[in-house]
Structures are given as C-alpha cells and as structure tokens.
C-alpha cells in the first residue's frame, strides 16, 4: 500500500516524474488551471499565508510562485513526491501526516487548500479533521476543498477510480459536515468544465429530475468546490 500511495499522483495524472518535458508540461497546465479555478476565490493574496495539505509534487505551490509576496507551506506524506517538489518548485514543504501536522502546528493561515484530499480520510475522522482546519485558520480566512462530486452522472467512476478513496461527498453532505463548525460562510459550486458542457449537464439534470420525479443537486460537474470562510 505504501508503494501505491507513493506512485498515486503520477499514475492518476498520467505523469512521468522522471521526464523533464512531462513535468514541465504538467506544471504549465496545472498553473493555468489554478489561475482559472481559484483566482476568483482568492482575491488579493499579497502577504497572505497558505497551507496546502496533500501538496504532492507541487502543482498548486508552483502556481503560488507566480504571485508576489506570498507565504506558503505544503504538507504531504510521500517523500518521493516531495523530492520532486523540492527539485522543481520549492523547499517550503514538510513530510508529515496532515492530521498530526495540524495538531502540532503553532501557526495559522489565511488559506488552507485541499485538492483531491478529503476523500482519502476515514469517515469517522472527517468531522474532527474539519475542526482542526478551523482551528488553524485565521479569522476571515478560507478553506478551499475540491473533491469528487457524488451527485455527478458518472460519480461511481470517480468514487472507485482510486483504491485509496475512503468516502465521497455531495453538495449536501459536505455542507452538513462543515456546518458542524461556526464558519461565517459556506458555499459549494461547480468546478470548471466549460459553458457548453455545463449547459448540457443542466439540461440532463432537468430531464432526469422529471423522469425520476426527484430533486437533484445543482452541482453537476465531476468535482465540487467548497469554500468555507471563518
């Protein structure tokens, strides 16, 4: 299982970590993605402190390198992935279990980022984990979570794509979990998919809602994005 975790990121992303050209292409693509997906929710990040849990080889941290006067730290359990991150992106990373790190951490952050992370936690640990996130967040700070959307038409593929996935969320269930803490605002939105594709999904939602005579989620994309502000 350790080997599986170690190679997970490269396998899922069809990435050759031993190829400079493959890595360069991947970093450029992820940088553009984060610019489009996250910039509207980040605002002015100058002098802000970021923590990314499950940073992998550093795609998001590489995006932050393009911003001025940003302080950040990445945390991951994979020594191999962090070695790639250190070689190509930054040394501002820690080899640690995320929960252990949050329990021992003495700093607080303006943004805590979790992309494709929370679904790997045991169900019984998630509420306590969100409390740790809350405790490590500055007043006014934001937690941003991306996770597979179990209300998506082909959600079972996302759920079982990865053997290490422990749990799945819908808009309703992830909101329910985060409402256990007194966040000022919690919102869940679609991730980027393109206007035409989103329109098609909206039409399909109406069709299936009428066929099955049931209320369906407004979050239609393969992944959902949660933003919780303290």
- Residue 212 in domain: no
- Residue 37 in domain: yes
CATH number, domain at 155? 3.40.50.150
DSSP assignment of 177-211:
HHTTS--SEEEEEEPP--HHHHHHHHHHHHHHHHH
Backbone angles phi, psi at 141, to 5 degrees: -75, 170
pLDDT digits (tens, 9 = 90+) for 55-110: 999 999 999 999 988 999 999 998 988 999 999 999 999 999 999 999 999 999 99
**pTM across the whole model:** 0.90
Instruction: Print the domain residue range for 145.
Output: 2-193+219-229
pLDDT digits (tens, 9 = 90+) for 167-208: 999 999 999 999 999 999 999 999 988 889 888 888 888 888
- Residue 114 in domain: yes
What's the structural domain count of the chain? Answer: 1
- Residue 119 in domain: yes
């Amino acid at each position: 299982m350790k080997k599986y975790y170690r190679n997970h990121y490269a396998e899922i992303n069809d990435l050759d970590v031993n190829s400079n050209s493959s890595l360069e292409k991947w970093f450029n693509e992820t940088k553009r993605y984060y610019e489009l997906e996250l910039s509207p929710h980040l605002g002015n990040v100058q002098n802000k402190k970021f923590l990314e849990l499950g940073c992998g080889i550093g795609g998001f941290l590489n995006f932050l390198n393009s911003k001025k006067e940003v302080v950040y730290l990445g945390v991951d359990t994979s020594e191999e992935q962090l070695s790639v991150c250190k070689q190509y992106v930054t040394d501002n990373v820690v080899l640690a279990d995320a929960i252990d790190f949050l329990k021992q951490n003495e700093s607080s952050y303006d943004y805590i980022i979790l992309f494709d992370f929370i679904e790997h936690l045991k169900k019984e640990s998630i509420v306590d984990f969100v409390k740790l996130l809350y405790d490590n967040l500055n007043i006014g700070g934001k937690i941003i979570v991306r996770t597979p959307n179990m209300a998506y038409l082909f959600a079972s593929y996302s759920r079982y794509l990865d053997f290490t996935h422990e749990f799945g969320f819908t808009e309703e269930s992830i909101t329910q979990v985060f409402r256990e803490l007194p966040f000022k605002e919690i919102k869940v939105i679609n991730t980027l998919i393109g206007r035409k594709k989103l329109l098609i999904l909206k039409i399909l939602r109406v069709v299936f809602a009428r066929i099955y005579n049931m209320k369906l989620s407004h979050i239609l994309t393969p992944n959902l994005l949660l933003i919780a502000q303290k």
